[in-house]
Amino acid sequence: MMGLKSGVNLAEIFLLEFLSAKPSSLLQVAIFFATWVCLWLPIAVASTIILQKNKDTSASWQPFKPISAEQKLPLLASLYLIAPLVLWGANKIFGNCFSSYGLVWNWSILQSLAIGFVIGATGLAILFGLQTLLGWVKWELAGKKIISVTLPILLIAVGISAIEELIFRGFVLTQLQQDFSIYIAAAIASLIFAVLHLVWEQKETLPQLPGLWLMGMVLVLARYVDKGLGLAWGLHSVLVWAIATIDTAELITYTGNVPEWVTGKYGKPLAGLTGISFLLAIGAVLGLGLQ
């Protein structure tokens, strides 16, 4: 009963703080995303028209309909390429700079990137290694297919992760901290990070929302352990790279020996107990850096 009461009191404190805070930072974040989308939409529409004229209907985008990998790549590329420009404009308006978001280009950030990558890769190796030993997954190792997709996906993962860290653990978190404590700001930034994944795909993303939110919280922790974005960037990159490579190359098959809620619904690790446990373990490892 004491634990339950403490949890309720903590939730009340969080709710009171949220309701009593000024809305300015949330409005700033909303304006940023609205501006980003407004600048990107003409590019997305133009690319769709060009693809349709070239009769490449498999790669043309139709809003509110499921999106394929062929459609997603050019849309993602255009969306993320204009992100630094939008951030630059936001910096001018709000009086920020990239260094205030934890982005400083020096050897230290590259070292942190590498450390984050190693921590994430080690954790993933343990995660899938245990599932293999327990007979929950089977591997389909197609050498040529792995080689053909690994490097391109790695480059895309590093680029996308850099932009997302700069936006969510950089700009969004920094702005929210004007009105909220770090805990509330982190929770809101992570919620935005999770929910925006629904833009591209809804059915398979919905079960991942708790895992995506927890991933966002772990990445916030990584930023504060590292006092910069390098560690979070490395962790984010390896997660995107590993999961996308496994999906694209069809490297594993789930045996069905345990329910989907254990390994992940629709084969998505973040939608299952094992993925959640992995993130909690990474968070615990990072937490040692705060002691």
Q: What is the pLDDT of residues 131-177, one digit of tens each?
A: 999 999 999 876 667 777 888 899 999 999 999 999 999 999 999 99
**What per-residue confidence (pLDDT) applies to 102?**
87
Write down the residue that tokens 């490395």 correspond to: 234
The percent of residues in the chain predicted with pLDDT above 90, rounded, is 56
**Taking Cα atoms as reference points, which of 87, 89, 52 lies closest to residue 71?**
52
Alpha carbon 224 to its chain centroid, in Å, reads 17
Least confident window among 63-72, 215-224, 280-289: 63-72
Confidence (pLDDT) at 65? 56
Whether residue 204 is found in the same domain as residue 268 = yes
Report pLDDT for 9.
63
pLDDT surpasses 80 at 71: no
Q: Decide if pLDDT at 47 tops 80.
A: no
Give mean pLDDT, residues 205-227.
95
Do 163 and 189 fall within a single domain?
Answer: yes
* One domain for residues 52 and 119: no
Task: Share the mean pLDDT of the chain.
Answer: 85
| 99, burial (CB in 10 Å: exposed 0-12, middle 13-18, buried 19+) | exposed
Rounded-to-10 torsion of CA 59, 60, 66, 67: 50
Is residue 3 domain-shared with residue 88, that is, in the same domain? yes
| pLDDT tens track for 183-197 | 999 999 999 999 999
Domain closes at, from 56, 76, 96: 96
- Contact yes or no for 72/247 (Cβ under 8 A): no
Whole-structure pTM value: 0.86
- Domain ranges, residue 279: 105-291
Q: What is the pLDDT of residue 45?
A: 79
Q: Is 33 in the same domain as 116?
A: no
- Asked whether residue 5 falls in the same domain as residue 57, the answer is yes
Q: Give the end of a domain, one of 63, 96, 129.
A: 96
Q: How many domains does the chain have?
A: 2
